[in-house]
Amino acid sequence: MNLKKAIKIMCAVMGSLFFIHFFDSLIVNVSGMEFIINLKLSWKGYTSIVLPPLGVLKATTHKAPVQINIVLQNINLDFIKSILDVAPNKRELILMFKNQINHTLYILAAKTVLLGLLGAAFGGIVLRLKNKEVVLCSVIGLLITILLLTSVFATYNMDAFNTPEYSGTLKAAPWIINLLNKGISQINELGQQLKNMSDNISTVFSKMDGIGPIDGNDEVIRVLHVSDIHNNPAAYDFMEQVVKNFKVDFIIDTGDITDYGTPLENMIIKNLAKLSVKYIYVSGNHDSQSVINMLKKAKNVAVLDGKMINIDGINVLGFSDPASKTGDIEPPDEMKIMEQNLKIHEWLDISHSEPDILAVHNPKITENLIGRVPVILNGHTHKLNLFQRDGSIVINAGTTGAAGIRGFQTNSDIPYSAVLLYFKKPGNNQKTGLMAADVIKISNLKTGFQVERVFFNRGGRTP
């Protein structure tokens, strides 16, 4: 083989690989999930699944020097629900998903072959080869591409995903793979539990009509404290019922509205829009910056981070969780907790206005602030708690989303919980004050519920 022929073949190969590496990308919709799939040249053959902002799951799946990237772009929850409604059977769902995947692979393969052919032809044109030589380059590019794809499909090993590599926050969530391995049948169980929850909510509030009103009912501001929703759609039904039945004036959410920082925008915004009152939010360690930015765009949401807002005469001060600014779902370390605590102390020292409520996700951050603020609201622990000390009332709403998907995985009963606060309406030079609270728990696995009304006075609390 002379030098000229070698250059022509090399040009065809390089042009083909160049086009595949830089232009082989495809946007597809699979069962309500939008993905970008692309092929890149790589020294090692692996498949990476990118779930922003969670991180990347990577497995060595084939021997060909090609990297397959699958990036989740969007989730259409309404479309997924419609699919589950018409195909509730596990086998039907798997078959439907498999057919869509196969169709996508055929399109991707066809596009890759076309790009390989065009890339080789482009290389020949750049070298100003004759028409016959350009055609020859195209054939070489076509053969190279087919050989590459054949190598990928022939050596592809799905079992490699049993031992994947994790990066980003996915390192803290290998249970996701275990959840997927349990199969689509879990969806039916989840749906039934959500239906039972809806029935329980209706039962609770129909029976709570008999609870007596707070004295001076017209002079009361009702504030609903929620926390740790963790992407559980049943939590929004819970809140909607409380807002409707108790004429809530506004809601305070002390963080972890999502689970792993995924901005499921359609679900969250749609559900928050159902709530007819102002929604005050401070971030938790599970909430990413993309989630926070999304909530800032919602009409009825006020995101607090080092600032105070006045609603109905009540001053609410809120600070974000330090972890929400790092992209890591792990709770902040002791140093970050001390820094945030110091920041709150400094704010209180220099401020000309005093907050009536301080909202912070992690209770460790506010431990030594007891006595400085009348009411402190927390979350994070998933344990509902309420106590009064040194002039402060400290309330932890537990988990309004029953710990999210993890709550459905456990055999222990994690209740849906929230606290309804009754504040005295300020006026006539009198400041507001917390008079009473309704502690609400609805069972997740059982059919029971618990409601406790707590009254507050100078001597402590009176149940």
Could you give the CA distance from residue 371 to residue 245 in angstroms, rounded to a whole number? 33
DSSP 3-state of 62: coil
What are the start-end ranges of the H helices in 185-225? 185-207
The string of DSSP codes covering 325-371 is GTT--SPP-HHHHHHHHHHHHHHHHH-SS--SEEEES-GGGGGGGBT
Q: Strand 392-397 relative to strand 375-378: parallel, antiparallel, unpaired?
A: parallel
Beta bridge partners of 378: 396
Domains and CATH numbers, the chain: 3-181 (no CATH), 210-462 (3.60.21.10)
Q: Has this prediction a pTM greater than 0.75?
A: no
Average pLDDT over the chain, rounded to an integer: 80
Q: Which backbone phi and psi does 149 adopt, to 5 degrees?
A: -65, -40
Could you give the CA distance from residue 338 to residue 340 in angstroms, rounded to a whole number? 5
Please give the chain's pLDDT, 463 residues, in tens: 567 777 777 877 888 888 888 888 888 887 777 888 989 988 889 888 887 655 677 888 889 999 998 888 776 656 665 655 555 555 666 566 667 777 888 898 899 999 988 888 888 887 777 888 888 888 888 898 999 999 988 998 888 877 777 765 555 445 444 544 444 444 445 445 545 555 565 566 666 555 556 655 568 999 999 999 888 877 888 888 888 888 899 999 999 988 765 555 457 777 888 888 999 999 998 888 888 888 898 889 999 999 999 999 999 999 999 998 887 778 889 999 999 999 999 999 998 889 999 999 999 999 999 999 999 999 999 999 999 999 999 999 999 888 665 555 555 667 888 999 999 988 777 788 999 998 988 875 555 667 788 988 744 444 4
Whether the CB-CB separation of 405 and 380 falls below 8 Å is answered with no
Tens digits of residue pLDDT in 26-35: 888 877 778 8
**Residue with structure tokens 């996700």?**
361
C-alpha distance across the termini of the chain, in Å? 95
